[in-house]
């Protein structure tokens, strides 16, 4: 199917907002050590930019969940395809997501990390599709609220394409 791509977030807006989020996060943790978890693959560019704006001692780790397959269809039950390596027991943990949509994958991660003894758990998401939530879950540090449309670029894909783009586009069927 052919798609048209419409810019929804420019690279300048991304840079500005990511720097602001880094400042908000820095202020929140005020120097406490933090485990910052990148939820692969979608968050990889956002994460790489964000951690360079956070001023607190950090351990970094990466997880990958099975998710949307290769299309735009809705999610299923989440499972790890790559688990964490850092022990989170007694530590402050910040999850970094590309998009929180239904909230089911973030809810799964929060549940697991809580059981593993995280001292505190917060979520930072580049995009917050808050109106589409199917579970009660709040994004603590949200980049951009976007409620509709399927977006790609800045790490986010459609069928593994477009992750490398440095702005965010909405895919509109032609
Ligand atoms: P959920 O919150 O469990 O429904 O899953 C959110 C995940 O679905 C995100 O981390 C993305 O990987 C994927 N997703 C949701 N909406 C979009 C979109 O508009 N473009 C690309 N991926 C999306
Ligand atoms: Mg994702």
Q: What percent of the chain has pLDDT over 70?
A: 94
Ligand having the closest approach to the CA of 65: 2
Lowest-pLDDT range of 17-21, 77-81, 98-102, 111-115? 77-81
For the chain, the average pLDDT equals 94
Active-site residue among 49, 101, 128, 157? Answer: 101
21 has pLDDT over 50: yes
Could you tell me which residues are beta bridge partners of residue 105? none
Q: Give yes or no for a contact between 46 and 98, defined as CB atoms under 8 angstroms apart.
A: yes
Lowest-pLDDT range of 73-87, 99-113, 120-134? 73-87
Report domain extents, the chain.
33-147
Question: Catalytic site residue 101?
Answer: yes
- Cβ of 151 closer than 6 Å to ligand 1, yes or no, is yes
Whole-number pLDDT of residue 76: 56
Q: What percent of the chain has pLDDT over 90?
A: 89
Output the CA 99–ligand 1 centroid distance in Å. 5
CATH topology of domain 33-147: Rossmann fold (3.40.50)
Q: Which residues contact 13 (CB under 8 A, 6 or more apart)?
A: none
Peptide bond into 41 cis (omega under 30): yes
Lowest-pLDDT range of 19-23, 39-43, 65-69, 133-137? 65-69
Give the separation between CA 16 and CA 2, rounded to whole angstroms.
32
pTM: 0.94
73 has pLDDT over 80: no
Give the separation between CA 55 and CA 163, rounded to whole angstroms.
27
Lowest-pLDDT range of 22-36, 37-51, 75-89, 143-157? 75-89
- In 3D, which of 96, 44, 98 has the Cα closest to residue 68? 98
Whole-number pLDDT of residue 78: 80
């Amino acid at each position: 199917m052919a798609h048209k791509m419409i810019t929804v977030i420019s690279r300048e807006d991304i840079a500005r907002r990511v720097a602001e989020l880094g400042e908000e996060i820095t202020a929140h943790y005020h120097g406490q050590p933090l485990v910052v978890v990148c939820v692969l693959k979608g968050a990889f560019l956002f994460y790489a930019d964000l951690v360079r704006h956070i001023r607190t001692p950090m351990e970094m780790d990466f997880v990958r969940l099975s998710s949307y397959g290769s299309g735009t269809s809705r999610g299923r039950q989440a499972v790890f395809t790559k688990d964490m390596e850092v022990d989170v027991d007694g530590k402050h943990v910040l999850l970094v997501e590309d998009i929180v949509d239904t909230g089911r994958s973030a809810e799964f991660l929060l549940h697991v990390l809580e059981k593993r003894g995280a001292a505190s758990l917060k979520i930072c998401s580049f995009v917050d599709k808050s109106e589409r939530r199917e579970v009660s879950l709040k994004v603590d540090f949200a980049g951009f609220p976007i409620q509709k449309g399927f977006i790609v670029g800045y790490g986010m894909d459609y069928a593994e394409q477009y992750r490398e783009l440095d702005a965010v586009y909405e895919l509109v069927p032609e």
